[in-house]
Amino acid sequence: MLSLFCFSLKWYHIGYIELKMDFKSFKEMLKRIFFVIFTAAVLACHADPKPQPIVEGVTNVMPDEQQKLVIKEVVNLIESYNYKKIQINDSISSLILDKYIKSLDQGKNYFLASDIKEFEKYRTTLDDDFKNGDLSGPFYIYNVYAKRLNEYFKYSLAQIKSKFDFNQNDTYVYDREKLPWAASSTALNETWKKRVKYELINLNLAGTAQDKNVETLTKRYQNLQSQTSKTNNQDVFQILMDAFTESVDPHTNYFVPTRATEFNEEMSRSFEGIGARLQLENEVVKISEIIPGGPAFKGKQLSAGDRIIAVAQADGEFVDVVGWRLDVTVTKIKGPKGTKVRLKVIPVGKEMSSKPVIIELVREKIILEDQSAKKKVKTVTTNGKDYKIGIISLPAFYADFKAANSGDKNYKSTTRDVRKLVDSLKNIDKVDAIVMDLRGNGGGSLVEAISLTGLFIDKGPVVQVKDLRGKIEVDEDQTSGVAWDGPFGVMIDRLSASASEIFAGAIQDYGRGIVMGSQSYGKGTVQSSIDLNKLVNPGMLQKIAGLVTRDKTIGTSPSTANPADINLGQINLTMAKFYRVAGSSTQHKGVTPDIVFPSLYPMDKIGEDTEPSALPWDVIPSSNFKAVANLTAIKAGLIKNSEQRIANSLDFKYVKQDIAELKKRDAEVSVTLNENKLKAERDAQEAKSLTRQNELRALRGLPAIKKGEKVTKQDAFDFIEDESLKVMGDFMQQSGNYVMNLGVATAPKL
């Protein structure tokens, strides 16, 4: 499978934009990629890699044959097809080493100066090692890290029962990033001892007995030890590949098989299983949530809080899963729809020694409706006139490509869901305007971004795409007519990225509606999602399977010669940039709203312009699009009214204070270990927060709350949304008889 996406913020799993190519170019690209993959695979199978250095005193995690092959293929793909046309050389090798070490130990709490000095031998060799399929260096670095981690966990456990003086005026430096690496374990032991003291103080301030706190912290560190010991070579490989791809550009990503599955499930907003969310608690898998509509929900046999201790497939034998990694247990419980799974469950409220209940469920395809588009209706009053406004909240531009490709006419997609919501808002709720809420929406399918735009404009260009050869393609909405021809607005924030920026940018360029919020993320690159298995000759997978079988140091890799068990993972490779119909790239600069609100997020910490390896902003010629309106004159009045409201808004006043406070705290690297002082600081902060809450509640006619009382969900107030609705009210009043040309029979009046 080779599909093309726009993929943004890695830590958000943001954006997946399908890129169209003409068939001839697409076929030629496939042939070239296949040749690169196949040739490298043959060489990989005959390579003579360096022996893996062993770290004494720890169970060493080792790379396997699959990973040795994958690293070579990723190098080849990046050098041949990445948009930046970059070569993996000594300079990139140096960046990879720094990022890899930082990802393992950003706070400098584990490695010693001597370790870092030893790792310098890899600074300019990783590029050559990767091309040769040699992972010995990075895995050695990880095993040193694991050894240090075990040493400090062991030391910390011994310190928990120490007699600490909580009245001392000492401090704990929790952020050592700008400090030099520790010269000895003795020096770091002092840091870890203070960390233990700080954690005990936090437990003390929570109000529980000190003896109980010692027990709680002991279990916490024992659990950390246990979970760390379960780290496998896939985990290490993912950390390494993140460091590698981030050194090239922020949005080229490699996913190990389990992460690839998560990525594709998130994209489709569906998965096949029992319909329950799970978490790990004290080495036991616990159900945290039952998903409405799934087998677990329908069967009414499982509840949140139940603990799963064993799993069996259909009529097979039960396998005890206590102490297992959560992801491994999840793979046992998930499975193809229509198949059976049996669970041994300790019901919530029962002791773990209780007799388990056996529950049998038939797996189904679960649609994640809570992560899909939703609507609500609110009324805003402007100069004595009421307006009903429909708000559509869209968390991502999703699409179930697997279902669509299999011919499922009812496959799930953003445009399908939003069209139904628009029809309901228009025909049932009888709204006067619609607002699309894209706050926090990191992106999605380009096809969905185009088709969704088409619900609000008539046929025409939506986005331009420039590939690595410099060829520019204009992608258009080709469907006549619109689903909504009335007043329209779009809400964005700093976390709106990728496909969100395409949609918001098109609406803005066409003059189809008002864009409100803060500057978006600025992610304007397109990724190709490549399943590496599909590009490797089946015979080569058989050879790899044979090597895996003979390898005695592969950790969790399958000890079988079945090629079907070999999964090489997936890479999302940056292969193009997208541009607005007016020609401007969203890369780096994002979309600037028509009506700008103060950002809730630090602009200097989040955004494409904070990424050192990001591509620059640029401009290409405008496409042949025709704006439906020029809203420039109207915007001036909207901006003036909004700025006046924001200047007098207590909510926005507190936002500005919070941003200033965040910058101040960001510069702090230590905390007091005097319990009374720390308590006084937190009490003052809580009192300040409570005063703020009650001031805001009073403005909204709500009763004051006391210390410790929780704010109900019904009392929550979205002041960004509130201001956006007021802008829409102004928009409808100020536009008067202004007419948009949407290409419909009768041009609607706003």
Mean pLDDT of 421-449: 95
Share of the chain above pLDDT 90, in %: 60
**DSSP character string of 250-317:** TT-EEE-HHHHHHHHHHHHTEEEESSEEEEEETTEEEEEEEPTTSHHHHH----TT-EEEEEEETTS-
Q: For the chain, how are helix, strand and coil distributed in percent, rounded to 5?
A: 45, 20, 40
- Measured CA to CA in angstroms, residue 743 lies from 83, 460, 732 at distances of 37, 11, 21
Distance of CA 604 to the CA centre of its chain: 19
Mean pLDDT of 730-748: 60
- Measured CA to CA in angstroms, residue 131 lies from 43, 66, 68, 93 at distances of 10, 14, 9, 11
Structure letter (DSSP) for residue 544: H
Mean pLDDT of 727-739: 80
Cα dihedral sign for 350, 352, 356, 361? positive
Distance between CA 225 and CA 172 in Å, rounded? 22
Mean pLDDT of 62-76: 93
Window from 163-172, 438-447, 530-539, 585-594 with minimum mean pLDDT: 530-539
Q: Residues in the chain, how many?
A: 750
Query: At a CB cut-off of 8 Å and minimum separation 6, what does 202 contact?
Result: none
Q: Where are the alpha helices (DSSP H) in 459-556?
A: 499-510, 538-550
* Confidence at residue 210, expressed as pLDDT on a 0 to 100 scale: 81
* Confidence at residue 734, expressed as pLDDT on a 0 to 100 scale: 86
Residue 175, pLDDT > 60, answer yes
* Confidence at residue 292, expressed as pLDDT on a 0 to 100 scale: 79
Q: What band does 563 get if pLDDT is binned at 50, 70 and 90?
A: low
Window from 26-40, 169-183, 350-364, 537-551 with minimum mean pLDDT: 26-40
Residue 693, pLDDT > 80, answer yes
Residue 385, pLDDT > 50, answer yes
SS3 139: helix
* Confidence at residue 370, expressed as pLDDT on a 0 to 100 scale: 67
* Confidence at residue 609, expressed as pLDDT on a 0 to 100 scale: 93
* Confidence at residue 75, expressed as pLDDT on a 0 to 100 scale: 95
Q: Which superfamily is assigned to 372-525+580-647+721-735 in CATH?
A: 2-enoyl-CoA Hydratase; Chain A, domain 1 (3.90.226.10)
Q: Give the pair of three-digit tokens for residue 177.
A: 């990033």
Residue 66, pLDDT > 80, answer yes
Residue 311, pLDDT > 60, answer yes
Looking at domain 270-367, which CATH architecture does it have? Answer: Roll (2.30)
Q: What band does 718 get if pLDDT is binned at 50, 70 and 90?
A: very high
Q: How many helices (H) and strands (E) does the chain have?
A: 21, 22
Q: What band does 661 get if pLDDT is binned at 50, 70 and 90?
A: confident
Distance between CA 604 and CA 613 in Å, rounded? 16
Q: What band does 528 get if pLDDT is binned at 50, 70 and 90?
A: confident
* Confidence at residue 369, expressed as pLDDT on a 0 to 100 scale: 67
Decide if 482 contacts 456 (C-beta within 8 A).
Answer: yes
Shortest CA distance to 618 belongs to which of 659, 577, 654, 657?
577
Mean pLDDT of 49-56: 86
**DSSP character string of 177-213:** TTSPPBSSHHHHHHHHHHHHHHHHHHHHHTT--HHHH
Residue 179, pLDDT > 80, answer yes
The pTM of this model reads 0.83
Shortest CA distance to 596 belongs to which of 720, 442, 718?
720
Residue 265, pLDDT > 90, answer no
Segments making up each domain of the chain, as ranges: 86-248, 270-367, 372-525+580-647+721-735, 650-719
* Confidence at residue 418, expressed as pLDDT on a 0 to 100 scale: 97
Cα dihedral sign for 343, 349, 351, 352? positive
Mean pLDDT of 707-733: 89
Q: What band does 541 get if pLDDT is binned at 50, 70 and 90?
A: low
Structure letter (DSSP) for residue 380: E
Mean pLDDT of 194-203: 94
Residue 564, pLDDT > 80, answer no
Cα dihedral sign for 32, 34, 38, 41? positive
Decide if 88 contacts 155 (C-beta within 8 A).
Answer: no
Q: What band does 68 get if pLDDT is binned at 50, 70 and 90?
A: very high
Window from 87-101, 154-168, 295-309 with minimum mean pLDDT: 295-309
Q: Which residue has the higher pLDDT, 333 or 664?
A: 333
- Measured CA to CA in angstroms, residue 348 lies from 218, 301, 302, 304, 587 at distances of 24, 12, 9, 7, 49
Structure letter (DSSP) for residue 236: H
CA atoms within 13 A on the CB side of 715: 16
* Confidence at residue 378, expressed as pLDDT on a 0 to 100 scale: 97
Window from 32-36, 260-264, 404-408 with minimum mean pLDDT: 32-36
Residue 9, pLDDT > 60, answer no
Shortest CA distance to 18 belongs to which of 307, 320, 339, 400?
400
Residues catalogued as catalytic: 498, 509, 523
Q: Which residue has the higher pLDDT, 45 or 651?
A: 651
Q: What band does 562 get if pLDDT is binned at 50, 70 and 90?
A: low
Q: Give the pair of three-digit tokens for residue 9.
A: 């913020």
Window from 12-16, 157-161, 547-551, 572-576 with minimum mean pLDDT: 12-16
Q: Which of 89-98, 343-352, 687-696 has the highest mean pLDDT?
A: 89-98
pLDDT digits (tens, 9 = 90+) for 266-303: 777 678 889 888 988 877 899 988 887 888 888 888 98
Query: At a CB cut-off of 8 Å and minimum separation 6, what does 44 contact?
Result: 68, 69, 72, 133
Mean pLDDT of 474-494: 95
pLDDT digits (tens, 9 = 90+) for 580-591: 999 999 999 999
Q: What band does 42 get if pLDDT is binned at 50, 70 and 90?
A: very low
* Confidence at residue 260, expressed as pLDDT on a 0 to 100 scale: 87
What are 182-191's contacts with CB under 8 Å, separation 24+? Answer: 182/108, 182/112, 182/113, 183/112, 183/113, 184/112, 185/112, 185/151, 188/109, 188/110, 188/112, 188/152, 189/152, 189/155, 191/109
Q: What band does 538 get if pLDDT is binned at 50, 70 and 90?
A: low
SS3 571: strand
Residue 743, pLDDT > 80, answer no
Residue 262, pLDDT > 90, answer no
Q: What phi and psi values does residue 232 have, to the nearest 5 degrees?
A: -115, 180
Q: Which residue has the higher pLDDT, 170 or 210?
A: 170
Cα dihedral sign for 619, 621, 624, 628? positive
Q: Which residue has the higher pLDDT, 543 or 481?
A: 481
Scan for tokens 């028509």, then name that residue.
594
Query: At a CB cut-off of 8 Å and minimum separation 6, what does 443 contact?
Result: 6, 7, 8, 14, 15, 16, 17, 396, 397, 497, 498, 499, 500, 501, 523
Burial class of residue 409 in the structure, from the number of CB atoms within 10 Å of its CB (0-12 exposed, 13-18 middle, 19+ buried): exposed
Distance between CA 255 and CA 253 in Å, rounded? 7
Mean pLDDT of 653-669: 86
- Measured CA to CA in angstroms, residue 727 lies from 438, 504, 592 at distances of 16, 17, 16
Average pLDDT, the chain: 86
SS (H, E, C) 406-474: CCCCCCCEHHHHHHHHHHHHHHCCCCCEEEEECCCCCCECHHHHHHHHCCCCCCEEEEEEEECCCCEEE
| Residue spans of beta strands (DSSP E) within 619-685 | 670-672
Mean pLDDT of 255-261: 89
